[in-house]
Amino acid sequence: MSPVTEKGETSLMAKAIREGIFAAIISFFMFLLFVGVETYQDINNALVWRMRWGLLFIFVAIAAIGRFLTVAFIKPHLDARKLSKAKSGILEISTQKSFFHRHFLKIALVFLLVYPFLMMLIVGKQGSLKYVDNFGIQILIYVMLAWGLNIVVGLAGLLDLGYVAFYAVGAYSYALLSSYLGLSFWILLPLSGIFAALWGIMLGFPVLRLRGDYLAIVTLAFGEIIRLVLINWTEVTKGTFGISGIAKASVFGIWSFDVGAPNNFAKVFGLASSSVYYKVFLFYVILALCLLTAYVTIRLRRMPIGRAWEALREDEIACRSLGINTVTTKLTAFATGAMFGGFAGSFFAARQGFVSPESFVFLESAVILAIVVLGGMGSLTGIAIAAVVMVGGTELLRDMSFLKIIFGPDFTPELYRMLLFGLAMVIVMLFKPRGFVGAREPTAFLKERKAVSGSFTKEGHG
Amino acid sequence: MRKMGRTIQEMRPHRRTASRGKQMDYFVQQLINGLTLGSIYGLIAIGYTMVYGIIGMINFAHGDIFMLGGFAALIVFLVLTSLFAGIPVALLLLVMILVGMLVTGLWNWTIERIAYRPLRGSFRLAPLITAIGMSITLSNFIQVTQGPRNKPIPQLVTDVYHFGDITIALKQIVIVVLTAVLLAAFWYIVNKTPLGRAQRATEQDRKMAALLGVDVDRTISVTFIMGAALAAVAGAMYLMYYGVSSFTDGFTPGVKAFTAAVLGGIGSLPGAVIGGLLIGLIESLWSAYFSIEYKDVATFAILAIVLIFKPTGLLGRPEVEKV
């Protein structure tokens, strides 16, 4: 027996070495121009170049060694694991769940409720600002946006590449109406949602007949149109300068967070003035908005309209022949998804105090869509996990000053943020094409609710 | 985008309340500018439409492949002009284009192998997400390795011909003629060679083609390489036309080219070219007669309007769904 495996081992090694050398050659030619040659402007502002052999060598070596390790060790290991799993006959989705698994949602909710105070306890008032604002609020905004988009993409199966347009509509509705008419946050929050929903219907009408990728490009175009109008309609939107000095939200008009106001929150309670209170308040507002989104999504899935969405995703023709009105089904999906985008937008404007078209580029739509797909379309928990991983991960890179000790003082992790984000998107998708949470809980079932693999749900063709 | 607007503005002659002949000249001038721009869009759009036709996926990274092609041409230009001073411009351009085609072809081949092929049997959105991820990765890769600033190069082709009031730059002629030649070659490959036959067979029915002995994987790889090569030519032309490269260059022309492909009917090669030319014409005519600021809005709005009346584009085949 041993000679056979030995022969297998050597041939595997030989193959791995061959593949490694091949990868080295390919990567050498790929990186020769872009990494090997550095272009920069000299003192006379003329473009000149110099070779970077060292860096090129590192890139090639990484490619070669990576390929060698993949072929020699990682792939056989993965194959063996897959084989043993298939042999043992245990399905991936087991009914036995750990305590943490069963109570995951409760634990997460409790954690989120105490999160700002926990952070204040651990790192102090000023230190917690970063964690509450950059991590807490930032991630929750993306969770909310992704849950909103999930209604369109995950439930109704309509591929929307311009979701950020509704986010922009919400943000600008709040920014413009509060600065021109002086309306308060709590009036404008629902109004922004309604405006965004109207825009959703406006987008919905022309694309009703379109399917799949035609739908995708028109939604993308719609997002770009909104952004270009925001840039160019300078009389109203102030163009690329954006609108600044947007009014802060207040606690239902009872306490204000403006420093000069007589009913300032800190003054009323006799606390030292600090910007932390406002951030903590905003944290709970966005948390409430997220919970609202989740609640509405869960309830809608059980209502006729939600079932119609999912039916539309699975098979449009069958849907139509069963008498479902696909026009209203699609329009409500667009409008509902857009409404949550609008809520998130007005919240964003209140939090930043500043909006400009820069915040609503296509990349944002792509990031939101990526979170929805990486989380496992249709699964609220999965999407929340994906948002934490992707947004939190890239936020973490912003303040990794210890990396400077390793790579030298010139190293700026900020620069690599989006590069790593893109790579992470690719890698997660390759290993988990169905997203983090691949199982689906059906809304309609016979006798007993059973989770099914995500592979059995369709993604819809628009 | 802004760059493009500026260039068109510079090209715009003073509009005079002159005779009808002058207005006609102005119109023809805009047609020529639009045709040049449209040729570049058409070249990129072919890559989108071929990949879509053969595996039904939107290759979002294609715009960034175009950007890579532009950068390859830029770097080759810098290296060659400093190593061999006084190299003839025609030879220089040829080397720029050829090296760009090879390098971007290699990149697109690798990207297909790593990011798209493992997901081919998976659900439809998975390769779309990896393509978006690849697009983000590529543009940021160039930003990290080559720096975030715009890279200007001196004008390569400066000759200008005057026909009355109409000005035609030699570089415009080069772009249009090169596009036409490439399209002819491309048409020949797709319609007359065994490779093209394999591509068309794979497009129609991948499983059946495989059963009949077509190497499907290889055919798809070659399709990606061909698309990238055309995008690289477009990138080099873009660099020659505007004289500047930046890592963000991939997005706007990429989206425009994608729009062109959809406008012409995605999956159809002549459609991609016609779509590209149309988008180029709409853009330059709109900025000449209405407003430069809203030229992209006009482009996208016209796309939406066309799709309302012809949901599968101008030359696209209507999708028949069998139950």
Q: Which of B140, B149, B258 sits opposite A422 (nearest CB)?
A: B140
Q: Which of B136, B142, B146 sits opposite A421 (nearest CB)?
A: B136
Q: Residue B322's pLDDT is what?
A: 58
User: Can you give the three-state secondary structure of B83-106, one letter per residue?
Assistant: HCCCCCHHHHHHHHHHHHHHHHHH
Question: What confidence tier does A115 reach under pLDDT thresholds 50, 70, 90?
Answer: confident
Contacts with B122 from chain A: Cβ below 8 Å: 433
Pair A47, A123 in one domain: no
Pair A335, A216 in one domain: yes
Residue of A nearest to B244 (CA): A47
**Smallest Cα distance from A265 to chain B, Å:** 43
Q: Which of A39, A217, A224 sits opposite B75 (nearest CB)?
A: A39
Residue A105 included in any domain? no
**Smallest Cα distance from B69 to chain A, Å:** 11
Contacts with A458 from chain B: Cβ below 8 Å: 123
B109, B145, B247, B248: best mutation site toward chain A, by most A Cβ within 10 Å?
B145
In the block, which residue shows the tokens 């809304």?
A443
Is the pLDDT higher at B195 or at A182?
Answer: B195
Residue A425 included in any domain? no
The overall average pLDDT reported for chain A is 80
Residue A8 included in any domain? yes
**Smallest Cα distance from A205 to chain B, Å:** 9
Q: Residue A439's pLDDT is what?
A: 62
H/E stretch holding A207: helix A185-207
A33, A58, A220, A317: best mutation site toward chain B, by most B Cβ within 10 Å?
A33
* Residues B101-111 pLDDT 10s: 999 999 999 99
Residue A263's SS3 state is: coil
Contact in structure between B101 and B232 (CB atoms under 8 Å): yes
Q: Residue A179's pLDDT is what?
A: 83
Pair A124, A12 in one domain: no
ipTM of the complex: 0.82
Is pLDDT above 60 for B4?
no
Buried b (16+ CB within 10 A) or exposed e, A235-253: eebbeeebbeebbbbbbee
* Residues B246-293 pLDDT 10s: 888 888 888 889 889 888 888 788 889 999 999 999 989 888 888 887
Q: Whole-angstrom Cα distance, residue B232 to residue A393? A: 34
What's the number of domains chain A is made of? 2
Average confidence (pLDDT) over B142-149:
85
Q: Residue A446's pLDDT is what?
A: 67
E strand segments, chain B: 151-152, 160-163, 166-169, 244-245
According to DSSP, residue A327 is labeled H
Pair A26, A148 in one domain: no
Average confidence (pLDDT) over A110-118:
77
Is the pLDDT higher at B219 or at A456?
Answer: B219
Contacts with A221 from chain B: Cβ below 8 Å: 259, 300-301, 303-304
User: Which CB contacts under 8 angstroms, 24+ apart, belong to A389-396?
Assistant: A389/A436, A390/A142, A390/A421, A390/A424, A390/A425, A391/A138, A391/A139, A391/A142, A391/A367, A392/A135, A392/A139, A393/A420, A393/A421, A393/A424, A394/A418, A394/A420, A394/A421, A395/A134, A395/A135, A395/A138, A395/A139
According to DSSP, residue B56 is labeled -
* Residues A413-444 pLDDT 10s: 667 888 888 888 888 888 887 777 766 666 66
* Residues A335-369 pLDDT 10s: 999 999 999 999 998 888 888 888 888 888 988 98
Contact in structure between B311 and A214 (CB atoms under 8 Å): yes
Is pLDDT above 80 for B99?
yes
Is pLDDT above 90 for A278?
no
Is pLDDT above 70 for A133?
yes
Pair A77, A130 in one domain: no
Q: Residue A267's pLDDT is what?
A: 67
Residue A404 included in any domain? no
Residue A231 included in any domain? yes
Q: Residue B7's pLDDT is what?
A: 45
Question: What confidence tier does A409 reach under pLDDT thresholds 50, 70, 90?
Answer: low
Q: Residue B109's pLDDT is what?
A: 93
Secondary structure percentages of chain B, helix, strand, coil, to 5: 75, 5, 20
Q: Residue B70's pLDDT is what?
A: 92
Is the pLDDT higher at A116 or at B9?
Answer: A116
Structure tokens at A345: 């937008």
Q: Are the beta carbons of B300 and A224 separated by less than 8 Å?
A: yes
Q: Whole-angstrom Cα distance, residue A308 to residue A316? A: 10
- Choosing from A72, A88, A104, the residue where a domain stops is A88
H/E stretch holding A422: helix A413-431
* Residues B170-226 pLDDT 10s: 888 989 999 999 988 988 998 899 999 998 898 888 888 889 988 999 999 999 999
Residue of A nearest to B266 (CA): A214
Domain of A257, in residue numbers: 116-399+432-456
Average confidence (pLDDT) over A49-61:
85
* Residues A290-335 pLDDT 10s: 999 999 998 988 888 888 888 888 888 888 888 888 888 889 999 9
Contacts with B245 from chain A: Cβ below 8 Å: none
Pair A174, A312 in one domain: yes
Q: Of the given ranges (A307-321, B5-19, B134-148), which has the lowest mean pLDDT? A: B5-19
Is pLDDT above 80 for A276?
no
Q: Residue B67's pLDDT is what?
A: 93
Question: What confidence tier does A132 reach under pLDDT thresholds 50, 70, 90?
Answer: confident
Contacts with A220 from chain B: Cβ below 8 Å: 255
**Smallest Cα distance from A218 to chain B, Å:** 6
Strands B244-245 and B151-152: antiparallel
A271: Cβ–Cβ under 8 A, 6 or more apart, which residues?
Answer: A265, A277
Q: Are the beta carbons of A221 and B304 separated by less than 8 Å?
A: yes
Question: What confidence tier does B63 reach under pLDDT thresholds 50, 70, 90?
Answer: very high
Q: Are the beta carbons of B152 and A40 separated by less than 8 Å?
A: no
Residue of A nearest to B262 (CA): A214
Is pLDDT above 90 for A14?
no
* Residues A83-110 pLDDT 10s: 887 776 655 555 555 666 667 777 888 8
Residue A185 included in any domain? yes
Residue A288 included in any domain? yes
Q: Residue B290's pLDDT is what?
A: 83
pTM of the model: 0.85
Q: Residue A186's pLDDT is what?
A: 86
Looking at chain B, the whole-number percentage of residues with pLDDT higher than 70 is 92
The overall average pLDDT reported for chain B is 85
CB pairs under 8 A between A and B: 179
- Choosing from A73, A88, A103, the residue where a domain stops is A88
Domains annotated for chain B, with CATH where assigned, are: 2-309 (1.10.3470)
Residue A36 included in any domain? yes
Smallest CA-to-CA distance from A130 within A258, A275, A251, A250 is with A275
Is pLDDT above 50 for A175?
yes
Pair A171, A320 in one domain: yes
Q: Residue B177's pLDDT is what?
A: 92
Pair A255, A312 in one domain: yes
Is the pLDDT higher at B120 or at B65?
Answer: B65
In the block, which residue shows the tokens 């030519």?
B233
* Residues B151-174 pLDDT 10s: 888 888 788 888 877 888 888 898
Is pLDDT above 60 for B11?
no
Residue of B nearest to A424 (CA): B133
Q: Residue B18's pLDDT is what?
A: 53
Q: Which of A317, A423, A433 sits opposite B137 (nearest CB)?
A: A423
**Smallest Cα distance from A317 to chain B, Å:** 8
Tell me how crowded residue B80 is: count the other CB atoms within 10 A of its CB: 16
Q: Residue A221's pLDDT is what?
A: 87
Pair A65, A152 in one domain: no
Average confidence (pLDDT) over B297-320:
79
Is pLDDT above 80 for A378?
no
Q: Residue B146's pLDDT is what?
A: 85
Q: Residue B98's pLDDT is what?
A: 93
Average confidence (pLDDT) over B23-35:
87
Q: Are the beta carbons of A206 and B307 separated by less than 8 Å?
A: yes
Is pLDDT above 60 for A245?
yes
Pair A131, A14 in one domain: no
Pair A152, A42 in one domain: no
Report A:191-210 residues touching B (Cβ under 8 A): 206-207, 209-210
Pair A153, A31 in one domain: no
Question: What confidence tier does A6 reach under pLDDT thresholds 50, 70, 90?
Answer: low
